[in-house]
Amino acid sequence: MKDITKKWVEFARADLDAAEVQMQYGAKRGSAYQVVVFHCHQSIEKILKAHLVEQDLEVKKIHDLTALRTATKLEIPEKFVQFIDELQPHYLIPRYPDLPFAPKFSFTYNRKNAEDILNKTKELFIWIENALMQKK
């Protein structure tokens, strides 16, 4: 694996770790769940970009998980494709609650759904990381 790919994986893992820490923090405070989900998005974004780097493909400065998934040409199982689509809107909403389209986005961040998204993110992260390791 290229050194730069390893860096992308390291950064992706750091976001996953941050999501786990925020999950614990949120459980204590009763908040911060939107931050958990944001870091889940970031983690998957960066591990997908690691694949692009490893394949010498262009890494665009985008946050669109669906576009990144497609660009990697990975044959991702359907359950993960659906989860990527579910995770996609959680890049902007947790950061900018006053976005014009926010009222159309009916999602309440709470412990249950943040925990569910975190668990699915971990599962997807492992799958993508394993696929990356097989490219050696």
Q: What is the pLDDT of residues 13-54, one digit of tens each?
A: 999 999 999 998 876 776 688 889 999 999 999 999 999 999
DSSP strand E in the chain: where?
A: none
Q: What is the pLDDT of residues 63-113, one digit of tens each?
A: 999 999 999 999 999 999 999 999 988 776 655 566 555 555 566 788 899
Tally of domains in the chain: 1
Put residue 99 in one of left, alpha, beta given phi > 0 → left and psi -120 to 50 → alpha.
Answer: beta
Residues 89/78/120/83 CA torsion (nearest 10 deg): 10
Domain membership of residue 31 as a residue range? 3-134
C-alpha distances out from residue 97 to 32, 40, 104, 105, 106, Å: 14, 18, 12, 10, 12
Put residue 60 in one of left, alpha, beta given phi > 0 → left and psi -120 to 50 → alpha.
Answer: beta
CB 113 within 8 A of CB 35: no
Model pTM score: 0.89
Q: Which CATH number does the domain housing residue 101 bear?
A: 1.20.120.330
